[in-house]
Each structure stands twice: as C-alpha cells, then as structure tokens.
Amino acid sequence: MAERTRAWAADRGLAMFSPDGYHSPTVSTIRAGAIDVAALCTALAERGFEISNGYGKLKGETMRIGHMGDHTLADVEELLGTIDECLA
C-alpha cells in the first residue's frame, strides 16, 4: 500500500516529504505543491474518506495518507481514485 501511494504521488508530479530510503511503511507524507490540502480534506470527508493535512509548519504544505491497520490495497486504490476525482 505504501509503494502504491508513493507511485500514485510520483505519477502526478508530487514529491514525497521524506528523502528516498526514509519513507515510512505506515504513512506517506506527500508535498502538496499547488493542492489546497484543506479543501481536499473537506471534499474527501464529504465522500466518506479522510486524509490528514500536514501539522505545525507543514500544515497546508503536505498531506498524509495512512496505509496501516485495517486497510487493504483496494481501500487505498479507492481513496487515491477519489482524490483524483476531487482534484479534477
């Protein structure tokens, strides 16, 4: 799930916050670029999904997508597809 999330970000020209070799296996922190993360979080919540905005100095600059616990690859795929819909 982590690899799929990182590939999705790369396919959209988004960079990971952590350097290569230091990515978390449980959550992906992605640099948001021009994405309004707060608006994206709201749009996703309206569709029953949740991601996290960055926190502290990173709020609005990063988004965090979890892929641990009670998630499946299918769940992650559905979330990523919904993010694409919200950004379209």
What are the start-end ranges of the H helices in the chain?
2-11, 37-46, 73-87
CATH of the domain at 23: 3.90.1150.10
Give CA–CA dist 29/79, Å, rounded: 15
Number of structural domains in the chain: 1
Give the structural domain span for 23: 2-87
Q: Which pTM value belongs to this model? A: 0.89
Task: Give the tens place of pLDDT for each residue, 14-69.
Answer: 999 999 999 999 999 999 999 999 999 999 999 999 999 988 999 999 999 998 88
